[in-house]
Amino acid sequence: MAAPPPLVSRRIHAERLVLLGWSRAILLQLSHPLMAAAMAAHSSFRGGPMAAANRLRHTVGAMLDLTFGDEAEHARALAGIRSIHNRVNGLLESAVGPFPKGTPYSANDPDLLLWVHVTLLESVALAHDAFVGPLEPAERDAYCDEAAPTAISLGARPEDVPRTWPALVDRMAAVRASGALFVGSDAKAVADAVLSPPLSAAIWPVAWLNRQFTIATLPDDIRRQYGFEQQPGSAARLYRATRFVRGVRRLTPRAIAQWGRSRGAPRT
């Protein structure tokens, strides 16, 4: 059995609340037109409740296997992700931003893999800060360093993968400055499904918090491209909500607040 992954990533990924960062990561990923086309054509985001539940279950399972699994579970998770990536490719059906009609896209594109990687790391760390507690600079650096091998295993170029938080921030800034990001119709359609998933009315407090946190923490230029507006008083309401959730988390037993796999429970 392989040695357990380093401490920081295990501690962050143990928390169920960090899932509240995933929607932000997805919307940032969608702001790249090639990612948006891939998700619109090949994902189940706009499927029904069962599709949404299965997608979430598989995605969480892969995260837990990569973080807490033994060597065989880790390898199977990587193989499963690669299998999905191998099926995701195509051509832009119309021009979007700087990309002309017919531009090819592939989930194995090293640049797109890196964009997914950095947006997810940044968003999960922000969610941990907001809903669990702030990470120290050294912890952020360790999180980046610990996550790097997975990105490289999936096809990102080793020299491009950030190993520190400042390097991650620089990479995000470089992509935004490159002119590659443009929120088109595919991005808006999938984003609407992400922020208003099936049965969201049944879990409206969580859905509201997820939507408000996602919109508030997007970069201003990306938020404007999506057409999201910050309503008067929304920042104050979100601040009160995040303080409340952090307080509840401090009083919540690990058996409820954290995934069973983080405590050694068997894979289900």
Per residue in 107-152, pLDDT (tens digit) is: 999 999 999 999 999 999 999 999 999 999 999 999 999 999 999 9
Instruction: Grade residue 264 by pLDDT with cuts at 50, 70 and 90.
Output: confident
pTM (two decimals): 0.92
d(CA 120, CA 143): 12
Strand partners, 15: 258
Report, as an integer, the average pLDDT of 61-86.
94
d(CA 127, CA 136): 14
Give residues with Cβ within 8 angstroms of 259, minimum separation 6.
13, 14, 16, 60, 64, 68
Instruction: Grade residue 46 by pLDDT with cuts at 50, 70 and 90.
Output: low
Contact of 121 with 147, CB cutoff 8 Å: yes
Instruction: Grade residue 51 by pLDDT with cuts at 50, 70 and 90.
Output: low
Question: How high is the pLDDT of residue 134?
Answer: 96
Give the phi and the psi of residue 96 in degrees, each rounded to 5.
-140, 120
Residue 3 has pLDDT above 50, yes or no: no
Average pLDDT of the chain is 91
d(CA 8, CA 90): 37
Report, as an integer, the average pLDDT of 47-55.
67
Question: pLDDT of 145-168, one tens digit each?
Answer: 999 999 999 999 999 999 999 999
Question: How high is the pLDDT of residue 44?
Answer: 65
Instruction: Grade residue 176 by pLDDT with cuts at 50, 70 and 90.
Output: very high
Question: pLDDT of 187-207, one tens digit each?
Answer: 999 999 899 876 666 678 899
Residue 1 has pLDDT above 50, yes or no: no
Question: How high is the pLDDT of residue 177?
Answer: 94
d(CA 31, CA 191): 10
d(CA 144, CA 165): 6
| Proportion of the chain above pLDDT 90, given as a percent | 78
Report, as an integer, the average pLDDT of 15-23.
96
